[in-house]
Amino acid sequence: MTPQEEKEVSDASSDTGSDLSEEEETKESEDQVPLEQFATDEKFATTLELLQLPPAERSRENVECIFSLVKDNKFFAELDAEMSLELCRHMTYTTKKKDRVVFYKGDPADNWYLILAGNAGVYIEELKDPPEGDGGEQGDSSANQGRGLIRNDVRSAALIAHSDCLFLTLDKKSFQHCLGNFLRQKTDDKVQTLRQVLPGARDLRKLVVEQLTYFFKEATLQKDMPLSTEGNKEDTLYLIVKEDTSAISIRCVLEHTRES
């Protein structure tokens, strides 16, 4: 191949790569929602603007303002104040239109997402197209996403926007720096608990048990409170983790989310 031919091949490859990049950017833009749609008041809009500042330029006051957006989210309830603020220092945001796929099962786990506005569903089964309506297995995704980021793994479930959504996001490096050890221990504790109380779970691979924990949540019920009533349709599985004379801690509650 002559030098001129090599140059032409190189130029063609460069053009192809550029075209693909432009197509990806166009598709990403089509999937997004104008930020103004979520800026319901001036204070909220101002705080969202802080997320556009580079982390190194965010003051303590900036970070505390960002934290005010998420402080009521249950994910942050188990974190101490400094860890929560450090997360907020590194966060940015993205938006997704209704029924768009945020990520597919099998995609690289390269970002952590926290829903700030809207609602989304977690889908264990393989998805070829975004679902219509709310069908599918759903669960809280914020803590579960962290497992893939911690282990340099791929996504074990898909995340679909059920409405126009605003997400706070954290890249893998920042996530591992802030939360890696904490969530790794939390995940191991959940797996151990489920293996103790769910029949057959001891014989399952750890990854399978981790996926089961997606659909369990913790609840504490007072003594004499009925778990079910005769004649009612049952759609919840209760697993008793510990009990005393006054209350039962049902750490694992599995809710049936779709018709059989």
Classify the phi-psi angles of 147: left when phi > 0, otherwise alpha if psi is within -120 to 50, otherwise beta.
alpha
Q: Which two tokens stand for residue 97?
A: 């239109």
Looking up residue 147, the CATH number of its domain turns out to be 2.60.120.10
Please tell me whether residues 50 and 110 are part of one structural domain: yes
Give the pLDDT confidence of 152-187 residue by residue, as tens digits.
578 888 899 999 999 999 888 888 777 776 777 778
Please tell me whether residues 175 and 97 are part of one structural domain: yes
Q: Does residue 92 form part of some domain?
A: yes
Give the pLDDT confidence of 36-76 residue by residue, as tens digits.
788 777 888 888 889 889 988 999 999 999 998 888 887 78
User: pLDDT tier at 145 (50, 70, 90 boundaries)?
Assistant: low
Tell me which of 18-22, 40-44, 119-123, 253-257 is least confident: 253-257
Q: Does residue 127 form part of some domain?
A: yes
How many domains, the chain? Answer: 2
End-to-end CA distance of the chain: 63
CA distances from 219 to 79, 95, 224 (A): 19, 32, 15
Look up the domain containing 231 and give its range. Answer: 215-260
Please tell me whether residues 101 and 151 are part of one structural domain: yes
Q: How confident is the model at residue 166, as a pLDDT?
A: 92
Torsion of CA 131, 136, 139, 144, to 10 degrees: -70
Q: Which class for 174: exposed (0-12), middle (13-18), buried (19 or more C-beta within 10 A)?
A: buried
Q: Does pLDDT of 242 surpass 50?
A: yes
Global pTM value: 0.54
Q: Does residue 13 form part of some domain?
A: no
Please tell me whether residues 66 and 140 are part of one structural domain: yes
Give the pLDDT confidence of 110-130 residue by residue, as tens digits.
888 988 889 998 887 655 544
